[in-house]
Amino acid sequence: MGCIFSGKHEVKEENGYFLLTPNVAVHADLLIQMGFSTRHEKSYDLSFGERLLQADLCISDLDNQMTWYNVGERIAHERIGVKGLRDFAAYIAWAVEGVAGLHRALRTKTSPEQIELFKEIQWQEFYERFLRDPYNSLDGYSEGLKKEVVEAIQAMLTDEEIAQSLFPGVETFHAKIPAKNLILSRNLEPVLRAYGDYLGIREVIPDAYDRSTALDDFLSKNPQHKRLIIRVDGDNGEKELVRYAMNLVQEGRLDNVISILRTTTPDHLTSNEHPEFTVRVGTNDFGLIHLIDKAER
């Protein structure tokens, strides 16, 4: 086993998490599963980087996890698919309803999960009203997207735009791990293809509103994958995905799962929120890369 931290390094413990680097926190339960003591010691010999290298499938969400903004929301803000006065009037009505709905939700102290669901419904309405046309879709795209929508998205997502939208270190992380990379997202196929092409990721599953079903379908067709990394930003559907994957471990269909939560709030690295996730990272992947580099030495 590779030595990630020797006795010269102190690993800070907080709320059941161990801060392995300034940007990576691992839940104590994961270290227990790995066979390491997690109590009453000031330093640890950790091989977390090796565990990342042993994974054979890395499933990553796109919006707010690989990228620092939601690409789907930008499509709506750019009014892609909105053409002509009738569409423009419908777009204004859709936007007003979205703002009013969020205002009502915040005023009535609606739960974050309900707000998330409302935003998802809003996006689906935008998709159906402005982006989809089964009678005028571009060949090769399963979602029935309008030809001009696909072309506009491709024009928007240049290599320069994609590079600027990624959290620092994302490209290096995916290049370093030997696992097969897969982008699983509710976002549109041309969006995922553009990011996949840039990052060298061939497998993408777009329009995945039911992520657990999407994962089950993929594993049924690819049963050789047993050791998973799941990288998400922690919305409700993603929590359900992680729970489902952990159930597959209990059933024996998977060997193990490392779930990595992206958080943009430093205090959330070791907070008690989102206990479903074993690993948390901040606004870059340099901590993960550091651990992988150490394990490779």
Whether pLDDT at 50 is above 50: yes
Confidence category of residue 15, pLDDT binned at 50, 70, 90: confident
Span 180-193, mean pLDDT? 95
pLDDT tens, position by position, 162-173: 999 999 999 999
Span 64-87, mean pLDDT? 92
The pLDDT score that the predictor gives to residue 41 is: 42
43-52, 75-84, 193-202: range with lowest mean pLDDT: 43-52
Query: Per DSSP, what are the bridge partners of residue 166?
Result: 67
Whether pLDDT at 224 is above 50: yes
Q: Write out the two tokens for 225.
A: 């994958």
Q: Give CA angle at 176 (173, 179), nearest 5°.
A: 95
Whether pLDDT at 291 is above 70: yes
Q: Give CA angle at 193 (50, 94), nearest 5°.
A: 115
Q: What is the CATH number of domain 48-68+167-296?
A: 3.40.50.1000
Q: What is the mean pLDDT of the chain?
A: 84
Q: Considering only residues 9 and 116, tell me which one the structure prediction assigns the higher pLDDT.
A: 116
pLDDT tens, position by position, 139-183: 555 567 888 899 999 999 999 999 999 999 999 999 999 999 999
Q: What are phi and psi of 20, to 5 degrees?
A: -75, -40
Expressed in angstroms, the distance from the first to the final Cα of the chain is: 11
Within the chain, which residue ranges are assigned CATH 3.40.50.1000?
A: 48-68+167-296
Whether pLDDT at 32 is above 70: no
Confidence category of residue 40, pLDDT binned at 50, 70, 90: very low
Confidence category of residue 4, pLDDT binned at 50, 70, 90: very low
DSSP, residue by residue, 146-192: BHHHHHHHHHH--HHHHHHHBPTTHHHHHHH--SEEEEE-SS-HHHH
The pLDDT score that the predictor gives to residue 219 is: 97
* Interatomic CA distance for residues 273 and 235, integer angstroms: 12
Whether pLDDT at 44 is above 50: no
Whole-structure pTM value:
0.87
Q: Considering only residues 195 and 39, tell me which one the structure prediction assigns the higher pLDDT.
A: 195
Q: Give CA angle at 261 (115, 274), nearest 5°.
A: 60
Cβ contacts of 267-273, under 8 Å, gap ≥ 24: 269/17, 269/19, 269/23, 269/25, 270/14, 270/15, 270/17, 270/19, 270/25, 271/15, 272/15, 272/16
* Interatomic CA distance for residues 190 and 150, integer angstroms: 6
Span 66-95, mean pLDDT? 91
Half-sphere exposure of 289 toward its Cβ, with a 13 Å CA cutoff? Answer: 13
Half-sphere exposure of 207 toward its Cβ, with a 13 Å CA cutoff? Answer: 13
Q: Considering only residues 224 and 47, tell me which one the structure prediction assigns the higher pLDDT.
A: 224
